[in-house]
């Protein structure tokens, strides 16, 4: 057995000095693991966030700045509220902003070639089901072509980059192959009462499901074929600060906005809902999303090439009716709404079974739905 000399910096005492220590072989593994693997993150990393002025993108960007890392934000500011998030982000620190379009190969290829990011959070996308039906070409170009442009640019110019992608539960289709119990306030899936896991068959419905599903699969295949370090997060519903919701995207934020309008006497007419309001989603607060993405970086060698269902879990699930009851209680209002038909390909229930993510990332949702809704109300008061 051979003993070795190791050179390292004593960060706690004299970071400017390097010293050489002789380590007996039998103690080598124990000591070296404590010295060299104590800190999982590398300092001065370069982060590129596509869609970095969106809801989740801006929250991730703020965390990068808080950590003192180098930030590059790529966003064409076409999304409602993105310009406001950009101004907010500029109050958090210095970063490089690219007002570019991911559909343009030259735009994204030039950025990747120039900065060679250590980490890419890929959040640029067309995010509304209704928009995908009204303009399927736009939906395809942003979600599929834009993702392909990013992946191919990384393959050519920065193959060591870590790429974490925001996918969706819509890759599983409408889930009508299962049976549902209808209660007074919600639907319950009989076969999966604790939530859907990743063994559910992919079944793309609607242009949005097809485009996000195609991008989802490209991320996984670029790991299989080209060895890129990709991770796919199939999100349920997310909510929290910087979510500038509209009637067709960001339902929790949208109905919070409607409730606040009622509270402030600004409601002009009853709002509308699609379906009977018993549809169920699990809620994941943006703080927990940020935590998840950074944990993904730490365990990339275990997570790469895999897809994960992520959400708040059954304990943080709400139907529309249950959300309305909660808002009425918190704000002391009575909400009025009109019912429309169910949306095409709408899922009666989607609750994520996060067991796989819990195991790989040692992660779970930390913000419960009541705390998160109150936090979101307080944020939304600034924009109503």
pLDDT of residue 43: 57
The structural domain count of the chain equals: 2
State whether 12 and 74 are in the same domain: no
> How does pLDDT run across 182-237, given as a tens digit for each residue?
999 999 999 999 999 999 999 999 999 999 999 999 999 999 999 999 999 999 99
Roughly what angle, to the nearest 10 degrees, separates helices 286-298 and 55-66? 60
Given the structure tokens 């370090």, which residue do they identify? 229
pLDDT of residue 382: 87
State whether 195 and 61 are in the same domain: yes
259: in domain:
no
State whether 28 and 172 are in the same domain: no
pLDDT mean over 342-367? 96
Q: Which two tokens stand for residue 110?
A: 């030039």
State whether 106 and 69 are in the same domain: yes
pLDDT of residue 57: 98
State whether 353 and 304 are in the same domain: yes
pLDDT of residue 344: 86
pLDDT above 50 (res 24): no
State whether 10 and 61 are in the same domain: no
State whether 24 and 50 are in the same domain: no
C-alpha distances in Å from residue 329, one per residue of 223, 263, 279, 338, 373? 48, 12, 20, 20, 12
Q: Which CATH number characterizes residue 168's domain?
A: 3.40.50.720
Contacts of 239 (CB under 8 A, 6+ apart): 250, 252, 253, 283, 284, 285, 286, 372, 373, 376
pLDDT bucket at 295, cuts 50 / 70 / 90:
very high
Look over the chain and give the mean of its residue pLDDT values, rounded to a whole number: 90
214: in domain:
yes
149: in domain:
yes
HEC sequence for the chain: CCCEEEEEEECCCEEEEEEEEEECHHHHHHHHHHHHCCCCCCCCCEEEEECCCCHHHHHHHHHHHHCCCEEEEECCCCCCCHHHHHHHHHCCCCCEEECCCCCCHHHHHHHHHHHCCCEEEECCCCCCHHHHHHCHHHHHHHHHHHHHHHHHHHHHHCCCCEEEEEEEHHHHCCCCCCCEEECCCCEEECCCCCCECCCCCCCCCHHHHHHHHHHHHHHHHHHHHHCCEEEEEEECEEECCCCCCECCECHHHHHHHHHHHHHCCCCCCCEEEECCCCCEEEEEEHHHHHHHHHHHHHCHHHHCCEEEEECCCHHHEEEHHHHHHHHHHHHCCCCCEEEECCCCCCCCEECECCHHHHHHHCCCCCCCHHHHHHHHHHHHCCCC
Note whether 380 and 254 are within 8 A (CB).
Answer: no
**CA nearest to 166, candidates 51, 66, 246, 298:** 51
pLDDT of residue 107: 98
pLDDT mean over 28-34? 37
C-alpha distances in Å from residue 273, one per residue of 132, 247, 342? 19, 9, 9
Contacts of 279 (CB under 8 A, 6+ apart): 187, 319, 320, 346, 347, 348, 349
pLDDT of residue 23: 42
State whether 65 and 212 are in the same domain: yes
336: in domain:
no
Percent of the chain with pLDDT over 90: 85
55: in domain:
yes
> How does pLDDT run across 40-99, given as a tens digit for each residue?
444 589 999 999 999 999 999 999 999 999 999 999 999 999 999 999 999 999 999 999
State whether 70 and 95 are in the same domain: yes
Choose the weakest-confidence range: 32-46, 267-281, 309-323, 369-383. Answer: 32-46
Q: Is 187 a catalytic residue?
A: no
State whether 357 and 231 are in the same domain: yes
pLDDT above 70 (res 37): no
**CA nearest to 283, candidates 370, 360, 209:** 370
> How does pLDDT run across 120-137, given as a tens digit for each residue?
999 999 999 999 999 999
> How does pLDDT run across 146-167, given as a tens digit for each residue?
999 999 999 999 999 999 999 9
217: in domain:
yes
Catalytic residue among 208, 222, 239, 293: 208
Owning domain of residue 12: 4-36
pLDDT above 50 (res 1): no
State whether 107 and 74 are in the same domain: yes
150: in domain:
yes
pLDDT above 90 (res 288): yes
343: in domain:
no
State whether 292 and 159 are in the same domain: yes
């Amino acid at each position: 057995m051979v003993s070795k000399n190791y050179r390292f910096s004593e960060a706690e005492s004299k970071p400017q000095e390097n010293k050489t220590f002789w380590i007996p072989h039998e103690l080598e593994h124990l000591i070296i693991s404590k010295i060299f693997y104590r800190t999982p993150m590398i300092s001065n990393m370069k982060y590129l966030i596509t869609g970095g002025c969106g809801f989740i993108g801006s929250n991730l960007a703020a965390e990068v700045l808080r950590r003192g890392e180098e930030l590059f934000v790529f966003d064409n500011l076409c999304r409602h509220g993105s310009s406001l998030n950009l101004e907010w982000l500029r109050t958090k620190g210095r970063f490089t902003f690219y007002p570019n379009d991911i559909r343009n190969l030259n735009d994204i290829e030039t950025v990747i070639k120039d900065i060679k990011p250590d980490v890419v959070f890929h959040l640029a996308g067309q995010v509304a089901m209704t928009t995908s039906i009204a303009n399927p070409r736009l939906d395809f170009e942003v979600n599929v072509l834009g993702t392909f442009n990013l992946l191919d640019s990384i393959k050519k110019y920065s193959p060591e980059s870590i790429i974490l992608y925001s996918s969706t539960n819509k890759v599983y289709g409408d889930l009508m192959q299962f049976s549902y119990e209808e209660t007074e306030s919600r639907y319950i899936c009989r076969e999966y009462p604790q939530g859907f896991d990743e063994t559910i068959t992919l079944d793309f419905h609607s242009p949005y499901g097809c485009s996000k599903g195609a991008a989802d699969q490209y991320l996984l295949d670029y790991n299989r074929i080209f060895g890129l370090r990709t991770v796919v997060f199939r999100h349920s519903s997310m909510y929290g600060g910087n979510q500038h919701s509209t009637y067709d995207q960001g339902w929790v934020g949208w109905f919070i906005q409607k409730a606040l309008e009622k509270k402030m006497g600004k409601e002009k007419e009853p709002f509308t809902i699609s379906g009977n309001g018993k549809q169920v989603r699990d809620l994941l607060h943006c703080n927990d999303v940020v935590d998840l993405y950074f944990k993904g970086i730490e365990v990339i060698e275990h997570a790469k090439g895999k897809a994960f269902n992520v959400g708040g879990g059954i304990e943080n699930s709400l139907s529309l009716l249950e959300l309305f009851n909660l808002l009425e209680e918190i704000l002391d209002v009575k909400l009025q709404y009109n019912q429309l038909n169910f949306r095409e390909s709408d899922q009666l229930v989607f609750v994520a079974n996060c067991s796989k993510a819990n195991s790989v990332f040692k992660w779970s949702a930390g913000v419960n739905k009541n705390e998160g809704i109150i936090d979101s109300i307080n944020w939304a008061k600034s924009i109503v």
